[in-house]
Every structure is written in structure tokens, then in C-alpha cells.
Amino acid sequence: MSVLVYAEHDNHQLKSETAKLVNAASKIGGDIHVLVAGSGCEALAQAAAKIAGVAKVLLVDNEHFSHQLAENTADLLVEMGKDYSHLMASASTTGKNFMPRVAALLDVAQLSDVIDIISADTFVRPIYAGNAIATVQSQDTIKVMTVRASAFDASPESGDAAVATLALGGAAKGAQFVAEELTESARPELGAAEVIISGGRGMQNGENFALLEGIADKLGAAIGASRAAVDAGFVPNDMQVGQTGKIVAPQLYIAVGISGAIQHLAGMKDSKVIVAINKDEEAPIFQVADYGLVGDLFEILPELEKSL
């Protein structure tokens, strides 16, 4: 048995998901190899080599992978994947983009959003926005899956694996990168933050998100949002938490002016401690909140910032 883990990165930084995936892979058993595929990403391969439990890091570093497009990333994994019993990527927009392609080309099923590993062939994954949890068994020869990183702790940084450079891969067929518009932020990423404060429709507009920023600064928190806040154009799409946005599980999640629709709860209900601030005491968010404060957010937030 052997597991190939696709390293989550942006060519500059190895994302915290990678060490969490390695920990998940260790529950399967067998050798763990990490693939770093990108452009100008050699330093990241060195970083991956330090993750405890990694037997080998495979580096594919060429311009074809600078944007990790699905078409050629999938072809690369299909080429390499035949030597492994398990292929694993993060359930990020990158992993979800190419992994189903890999599975289809290998003629096997793909398991999405794995949150627990029972054995080498039995896995646990949420369905229906996390309102049901399925335990599934796969008899496929190669098990291809995306893993929800927030469900696993990170493997420590005590490893010392060898890095092998591979001359593999080609251009994406029929697809070209055109542009990207990435949100710049000095705050932690939603997936890595210990504390998250999220705003919903109750924030009324984008400017009012400044009320969350002061608190986020004091708590070292990331800022998230509900779909309603994103749809209304208050904040960009990458801040959406929920069934179809980002799934997070921080130590502390503060929901402000968010009603608690099942699709939002799906993205944050595994947080350790949940705080809800809402003027409607009947709001469903209070059913999952450890601490609920009923009141007007425009009065509460400035007071909260002052008292931290």
C-alpha cells in the first residue's frame, strides 16, 4: 500500500492543508509520498520534506503547472497514480477541480470531502450539507479522494524526507490560463485560522465589515461571510463559508448578523466554540451557538472591540 498526497500550494507557500492530509494518509498505512507540482516551487518541496511521516517528496516543477489547471494536472496524476493504492488531494477548489478527472481517467470512483478514515478501504464523508454522515467502502484498485483538511490535525514538522525531481507533464490540452484576481489579505486564511469572525446580511453593506476588522485584528482572526453577504456584493466570494463555500473548524467562530441556514451551518458547525450575535432571538444560529448574544450588532461590535 502507498499513498500519493497532492500538496496544496500557490507556488509561493505550502498551504497548511498539506500537513493535515499527510496525517490523514498515515491512517491508511503504507508509504506516503507527497507530490509538489507547480512552477518555481522547489522551496515548497523542501518544506514538504519536513512533514513527519512523509517517505519521499516528488517535485514536478515546470511552467505547464504554474496555474495547476485541471487538464494537465489530472494527466500527470494519472501517469503517476498507477503506482499507488491511494491518491489524495485537499477538498479545495484545486483538488475538487482535477481529482474527479483523475478518477474518471483511471475508471474508478472518487470520494469527496473525506472526514475520517476507518481503514484502507473504508471512509467517512458528509452528505446533505452535513446533515447525514455516510460510511462508504471502496473496492476500487486505486482509491481516489479529496480530504476535508479541517477534519484532521496537522502532522508535525519533524520529518526529513528525500526530494526527487521528475521530468514529467505537458501543457493543458484545450485550456489556457487568462487571468486571476486574488484577494490580498494580511489576515490568516479561513482554512488555517484559529479564530474566525463572519458577517451576514445583517451587516447591511461592505463598509460595515470594518466593524469586524477591528475585532479580527485583536483576535488574529480571519473574516468570513454568509452567502447572502457575498451575493449582495458586500465582500468577495472567497470569504463565503458554507456547504458550497469554505468548510472551517476553528477554535472560535463568531457569527454576526447571520441567521444560521443549514447551508451556512454546514460550513462551520464543527467549530470548537461558536458565538452568535443576532437581534432575532429565534434565529436558528442560536441552536448551534455555545454563547448567544441577542442584540443589535451595531451596538455590540464596537463594545466587543473595546473590551478585548
Ligand X SMILES: Cc1cc2nc3c(=O)[nH]c(=O)nc-3n(C[C@H](O)[C@H](O)[C@H](O)COP(=O)(O)OP(=O)(O)OC[C@H]3O[C@@H](n4cnc5c(N)ncnc54)[C@H](O)[C@@H]3O)c2cc1C
Residues at the annotated binding site? Answer: 201, 226-227, 240-244, 257-264, 278
Q: How far apart are the first and last CA of the chain?
A: 50
Q: Which of these ranges, 49-57, 113-121, 187-195, 200-208, lies near ligand X under the rule CB under 6 A?
A: 200-208
Question: Could you say whether residue 56 binds ligand X (CB under 6 A)?
Answer: no
User: Of the two residues 76 and 91, which places its CB atom closer to ligand X in the complex?
Assistant: 91
* Closest to 81 in 3D by CA, of 20, 145, 138: 145
Question: Could you say whether residue 227 binds ligand X (CB under 6 A)?
Answer: yes
Those residues with Cβ within 8 angstroms of residue 250's Cβ, 6 or more apart along the chain or in another chain: 193, 194, 195, 196, 222, 271, 272
Q: What CA–CA distance (Å, rounded) separates 75 from 172?
A: 9
* Closest to 28 in 3D by CA, of 111, 132, 106: 111
Question: Could you say whether residue 200 binds ligand X (CB under 6 A)?
Answer: yes
Question: Could you say whether residue 201 binds ligand X (CB under 6 A)?
Answer: yes
Among 36, 197, 229, 252, binds ligand X (CB under 6 A): 229
282 binds, among ligand X, other proteins, none (CB under 5 to 8 A by kind): none
Cβ distance 5 to 88 under 8 Å? yes
Closest residue by beta carbon to ligand X: 242
Indicate the SS3 state at residue 109: coil
Q: Are strands 252-256 and 195-199 parallel, antiparallel or unpaired?
A: parallel
C-beta of 14: minimal distance to ligand X in Å?
26
Cell of 133: 454522515
Cell of 111: 470520494
Indicate the SS3 state at residue 141: coil
User: Of the two residues 98 and 234, which places its CB atom closer to ligand X in the complex?
Assistant: 234
Site for ligand X in 251-280 (CB under 6 A): 257-259, 261, 263-264, 267, 278-280
C-beta of 215: minimal distance to other proteins in Å?
10
Question: Could you say whether residue 226 binds ligand X (CB under 6 A)?
Answer: yes
258 binds, among ligand X, other proteins, none (CB under 5 to 8 A by kind): ligand X
Using CB under 6 A as the criterion, which residues of the chain lie in contact with ligand X when the complex forms? 200-202, 226-229, 240-245, 257-259, 261, 263-264, 267, 278-280, 283, 296-298
